[in-house]
Structure 1
Amino acid sequence: MKSKEEFQFSNSVVLVPIFFVLLIWLVFWIEIRFGLDFTKFGIYPQTLRGLRGVLFSPFIHSGITHLYHNTIPLFVLTAAIFYFYKPIAWKILFYGILLSGFITWSIGRPSYHIGVSGLIYVLVSFTFFKGIFAKHYRLIALSLLVVFLYGSMIWYVLPIKEGVSWEGHTAGLVTGMLFAIIFKKEIARPKKYVWEEEGFKEDEDPFLKHFDENGNFVEHSEPEPEPEIDDEKEIRHTIRYTFKPRDKSLD
């Protein structure tokens, strides 16, 4: 963004989401191709070894269905973050992975927690609350769109489905809300009109002076300016010529 009032498209809006998506698919392909299982690199709560999963777990998935369900939301939400919040986009991604992962490690059940869904909940939560706090029509519209697309995800912060890390989802939801508050100064604000600027005086505006305090049009009759007098012209106009009769004696 050139300023806090403008949103600008850049290559990172597309390239970063594509890179992130390709990376998690590459990790899954390596597992399938070489018969590996990276689940042990996930978050295992309240163990020292399990802390490594804070960094690695977003790139590990249990199967093709798990990976597919996370791919589209990850791409869409990451692109939205880099378009609307480019100055803080990397902070949201990096610190979102760390903080949501650490909260999951602190409150999770004794099991391996894997998948990028924790980060997805960070992005959903941040985008929603940020738009509400901003009071910017574009960001509010983005918040409503996120609710429309991913509002049903709220149910998965509760332990309603076996085998789903609701702790990771809850951690992501809380992290996104905290970031929306912490980065409040980075909120884009709508462009102000001239009459909204500080120090603006209505009586000096050439347009507003034609309206009274109730919004009614008032016609102002301004005195016509006095014509400028050119001294030289005035002198020429006052010159008088005197003609004498011709003296015939001179013929």
Structure 2
Amino acid sequence: MAPRFTRLLRDSRLALFTMLGVLAVIWAVQVANWLDDYRLSYEYGMSSGRLDELPDMFTMPLLHFGWDHIQANSWPLFAFGFLSAYRGVKRFLLATLLIVVAGGLTVWLFERPDAVTAGASGLVYGYFGYVVLRGIFDRNLVDTTIGVVVGALYSYLLLGVLPSAQGVSWLGHLGGLIGGLAGAWLLRDRAPKAAAAPTPAPAGPAGPGSALLRELDDLGI
């Protein structure tokens, strides 16, 4: 088995366990929050304008306002989070920090003072943006293909960053998306691509899938 493919399997397994752990924490917090009549969301959710509220940007993604709220966030959080993490959890954690800070600052700076914002949807939008652009900045054809597919299938999510979005924190969504896009650029793979040794191949025209086949061959697939 090719070393790169072995490493990919290892990182994918770690990404799976990481996201299962994240969901377990969020759901455990939800149970405690529900038992406390959602006081945690109002106390540790994000409000704008006050310096003492800034640390709440780190608790805001863990809190929700109801079971429908957390259920709506859980599946896309797991899916986009896994796709963000399967190439390496260290980079994923740095991307998560950027997304949390960008989303929190956007809410803190621009949300109305009487609003309290909570929920993991900022992370969802951040991971979405990260997945869509990461492959392009890394010059990785497999990740670029994944990004194109994800962007095409879930392009409707972009409606949630518009001010016309009703009943949601569009500012939290917008800030998270900006953090994810910025993370894809700032955390891009800067290592020069090693020149592969030439291998014999049957003569013939290179088709549009030849680059993808080379990527898969490098991974041992």
Query: What is the CA-CA distance between 1:137 and the residue it aligns to?
Result: 1.8
- 1:137 matched to 2:141? The reply is yes
Query: What is the CA-CA distance between 1:139 and the residue it aligns to?
Result: 0.4
Q: 1:130, 1:187 within 8 Å by CA — same for their partners in 2?
A: no
Indicate the residue corresponding to 1:228 in structure 2: none
Indicate the residue corresponding to 2:75 in structure 1: 72
The change in CA–CA distance for 1:119 and 1:38 in structure 2 (over 3 A counts) is same
Structure ID, larger Rg: 1
Q: Deviations over 1:108-130 (max 9, x none)?
A: 22211110111111111111111
Query: What is the CA-CA distance between 1:75 and the residue it aligns to?
Result: 0.8
CA distance in 1, matches of 2:130, 2:19: 17
- 1:63 matched to 2:66? The reply is yes
CA distance in 2, matches of 1:185, 1:140: 13
Indicate the residue corresponding to 2:165 in structure 1: 161
The change in CA–CA distance for 1:28 and 1:127 in structure 2 (over 3 A counts) is same
Query: What is the CA-CA distance between 1:48 and the residue it aligns to?
Result: 2.1
- 1:82 matched to 2:63? The reply is no
The change in CA–CA distance for 1:186 and 1:26 in structure 2 (over 3 A counts) is farther
Q: Which runs of 5+ in 1 are unaligned?
A: 196-204, 212-251
The change in CA–CA distance for 1:187 and 1:14 in structure 2 (over 3 A counts) is farther
- The number of equivalent residue pairs is 198
When normalised by structure 1's length, the TM-score is: 0.70
**Given residue 7 of structure 1, which amino acid in structure 2 is its aligned partner?**
L
Q: Secondary structure at the match of 2:9?
A: coil
CA distance in 2, matches of 1:34, 1:21: 20
CA distance in 2, matches of 1:116, 1:55: 11
CA distance in 2, matches of 1:188, 1:164: 42
Indicate the residue corresponding to 2:176 in structure 1: 172
Question: Using CA pairs below 8 Å that are at least 6 residues apart, which structure has the higher relative contact order?
Answer: 2
Q: Which moved more, 1:99-108 or 1:20-29?
A: 99-108
Query: What is the CA-CA distance between 1:8 and the residue it aligns to?
Result: 3.3
Please, what is the CA RMSD of the aligned residues?
2.8
Query: What is the CA-CA distance between 1:36 and the residue it aligns to?
Result: 4.2
CA distance in 1, matches of 2:73, 2:191: 27
**Given residue 46 of structure 1, which amino acid in structure 2 is its aligned partner?**
G
Within 5 Å, which residues of 2 pair with 1:22-171? 22-40=24-42, 41-110=44-113, 111-171=115-175
The change in CA–CA distance for 1:188 and 1:166 in structure 2 (over 3 A counts) is farther
When normalised by structure 2's length, the TM-score is: 0.78
Within 5 Å, which residues of 2 pair with 1:141-220? 141-186=145-190, 192-195=195-198
Q: 1:42, 1:52 within 8 Å by CA — same for their partners in 2?
A: no
Q: Which runs of 5+ in 2 are unaligned?
A: 204-221
